[in-house]
Structure 1
């Protein structure tokens, strides 16, 4: 958790420094790459979570067969997605109104590396080798921060978005350290039909859920970049980065929650108290951030991004509220995902699509974009809570009947 806190702080510092150096208009293009990286992280997280879960559940020959199975599919998807980004870089430039297509080409080259990294991290997470897991995150964060700043300083007159992309690409190579010896495709045997079915089921549902994360976490930035000018889009990108500190903090707890719950479920032990403990932590932290954002918005924006971004200050607490509500509901969804209950995943997907539709129809101002997100996220949390307590009530009733 301490390492995750440092990594998130480093990533935050990276975003803040890039925003200050480039200013709102140029930062809009850089924010698109940062958003693409977040989108990629959610897709890759599918393979990390699947690897983490079945590192816990499989052993011996079944584990070797699983590693070969998941690695082949991870690399295949990484190569395909990378090629799509490279081949359609011109179209991406037009859709997101960026100054160059080269930034997408450079970014696409790094996609297969990111997917390989996700399997590497999944092994460390599932086997609770948290020190090695921490090192991979530290290596990625530090290399991206230092290399990007160096590139922006040395090649100050070059296209900044391309330099950002190069920094991201190099950092992905560093993120593979340390590399796990279990990552191999040497196994000649395939997974048994039973094991393959459960892996595919969890993989598909996790992928669906991660897609909902992409929609909820990043659709607003992408849509704002499409509907608004570069200055407004740059302001909104800074707002999103400040407000999402809640989500980054919440993710620290999710990283610890999943293997803990899976182990308890495997051993037949109760785990509801684990969920409530983490929800309590995140709720308290979220409340503190929203209150500070409400009381000192100008101070927060000025300290983090500078005077050029002050116009966004009145929206800070509202965006932090939307993110806080989503972060809390997200913990419930990951909890149920880890114990093979998938209705909350479907609920999240529906609300993610709802959020996109609301922004498409209501985007006359940046404030309206934020307000519709609050509405969608509050509705999501209410439904998740109803499902959780409804599920708890049904369990207790069954036990009483027995």
Structure 2
């Protein structure tokens, strides 16, 4: 019995999801710890209203950067095969093909923030226009850095990705602390996000120098139609995913007074600890499944293991939130004002747990090129937006709407997975029967 347990343990530790992604898992975890410390410091040292400004601007930057981030699956899918063949010229051609439209989008975003800074500030009740401009520059630069990030994932450079993420988040924490103590308040925190966001792109560009010096030849031509056919629906799916975890914060900032918006942002921070701890799993799973599928190897066990790794700790943390909400808030954000809505913390835990599982399913479908998954995801995001817009009588109403929408989406994705899994098993069975007939059985 002991030997069997030892064998199973060794088999688990040697699984590709663990061994192949150990660096990015540890690195992302450490980076998320620094992110957590950054948020905790800001939650304790900024005013409630100031923290509300920080949370809403971070959500805004995240939403604007979604179309850029959604290109990462496309880059991983197309560049990964070229890296495997050491065809660096094609990798360079792909990068050049993608960066041109991204530069145009970056300039448009920056121009919009400059022109409409006053209107954006009025909508979010942020009256310092310099904050809006910092957000605009940060969002514009995100469209350039996403290429570096995608290429590093495609090359499976997990160790380097972990290193750059740690350096970036460590810098954000250090710069943020210094600027807040110097009296820059919420603006200092946003400056820290801007400065630290540039660091991974710079060191990543240097690391990929061998790609930039490669020659592009006729064999390196990239079919842009294939990129669009995958990139557009995957972008929409990613847009919907980010909206599901950001729309509530943005609308609460708009419809509620600054104090309530800040309290909601604080509770959301505590709830998102679940996502901070489990998010690296999806980042590791995606390129591994892409690699498996490219080699026509089985990949469902990787997905099932990823779901288990995310689900089990998330359930325990959510249960703790239900049982000890005040203790959780006091431990994470030492501000008594947040305890006025502590009864909502358990619901936040379930909300983030559901979102974490949805993220895995969406990554899974995109990794096997089932891009139609964008339809239910986008529908859910729009439903959440409309329902909160029309029904926002209390913070409880907002979180309940978000949770119900996500539970419905998760149910749809599970049904879709069962359907696809059944089709794959039937196809495998037919292949085995055909093979047996060919050899005379």
TM-score (normalizing by structure 2): 0.85
What's the CA shift for 1:191?
Answer: 8.7
What is the match of residue 11 of structure 1? 35
Aligned residue in 1 for 2:329: 301
Which of 285, 289, 300 aligns to 2:317? It is 289
Deviates more, 1:316-325 or 1:179-188: 179-188
**Partner Cα distance (1:216, 1:119) in 2:** 24
- Seen in structure 2, the aligned counterparts of structure 1 residues 325 and 369 have a Cα distance that, compared at 3 Å, is same
In 2: Cα distance, 1:191 partner to 1:289 partner: 52
Out of 384, 388, 392, the position equivalent to 2:413 is 384
Structure 2 counterpart SS, 1:99:
coil
Distance across 2 between alignment mates of 1:332 and 1:51: 19
Cα distance, 1:390–1:113 mapped onto 2, change above 3 Å: same
Matched, 1:173 2:198: yes
- Please show how residues 41-56 of structure 1 align to structure 2 within 5 Å: 41-56=65-80
Separation (CA, whole Å) in 2 of partners of 1:218 and 1:345: 17
1:359 match: 388
| Cα RMSD (Å) | 2.1
* Contact 1:40–1:111 (8 Å) recurs in 2: yes
Once residues 323 and 273 of structure 1 are traced to their aligned partners in structure 2, the CA distance between those partners, rounded to angstroms, is 24
Decide whether the 8 Å contact of 1:72 with 1:185 is kept in 2: no
Aligned to 2:189: 164
User: Deviation of residue 321 (structure 1)?
Assistant: 0.3
Q: Which moved more, 1:315-324 or 1:66-75?
A: 66-75
Instruction: Give the length in aligned residue pairs.
Output: 399
Map of 1:63 onto structure 2: 91
1:21 is aligned, of 45, 54, 58, to 45
**8 Å Cα contact 1:221/1:236 also seen in 2:** yes
Pair 1:334 & 2:359 matched: no
1:197 paired residue number: 225
**Does 2:120 match 1:85?**
no
**Kept in 1: contact 2:90–2:216 (CA 8 A):** no
Alignment partners' CA distance in 1, 2:222 and 2:194: 38
Determine the C-alpha separation between the residues in 2 that align with 1:238 and 1:108.
24
Q: Within 1, Cα distance between the matches of 2:218 and 2:378?
A: 32
CA offset digits 1:186-220 (Å, max 9, x no partner): 97668978732221212112211111022101000
Counterparts in 2 of 1:387 and 1:240: CA distance versus 1, 3 Å: same
Residue 34 of structure 1 pairs with residue 62 of structure 2:
no
Q: Note if contact 1:135-1:178 (Cα within 8 Å) is conserved in structure 2.
A: no
CA deviation string 1:131-164 (max 9, x = no partner): 111122112211111111101111x2x5x33222
- Aligned-partner Cα distance in 2 for 1:248–1:260: 21
Gaps of 5+ in 2: 1-24, 432-441
Distance 1:182 1:48, change over 3 A: farther
The 5 A counterparts of 1:270-285 are 270-285=298-313
Change in 2 beyond 3 A, CA 1:173/1:343 = closer
Contact 1:293 1:316 in 2 (8 A): yes
Superposition pairs of residues 234-273 of structure 1, within 5 angstroms? 234-273=262-301
Give the 3 Å change call, closer, same or farther, for CA 189–89 of structure 1 in structure 2.
Answer: farther
For the residue of structure 2 that corresponds to 1:110, the secondary structure is: helix
Per-residue deviation, 1:380: 0.7
| 1:400 Cα deviation from its structure 2 partner | 4.2
Which 10-residue stretch deviates more, 236-245 or 262-271?
236-245
Q: TM-score, length-normalised on structure 1?
A: 0.93
What does 1:136-175 align with in structure 2 at a 5 Å threshold?
A: 136-154=164-182, 156=183, 158=184, 160-175=185-200
Please identify, of 385-394 and 46-55, the stretch whose mean Cα deviation from structure 2 is larger.
Answer: 46-55
Which moved further from structure 2: 23-32 or 54-63? 54-63
Taking the aligned partners of 1:187 and 1:248, their CA distance within structure 2 comes to: 40
CA contact (8 A) 2:89 2:220 kept: no
Evaluate the alpha carbon distance shift between residue 14 and residue 190 of structure 1 in structure 2; reply closer, same or farther with a 3 A threshold.
farther
> Is residue 396 of structure 2 the alignment partner of residue 371 of structure 1?
no
Task: Report the Cα distance in structure 1 between the residues aligned to 2:96 and 2:36, rounded to whole angstroms.
Answer: 35
Structure 1 residues not aligned, in runs of 5+: none
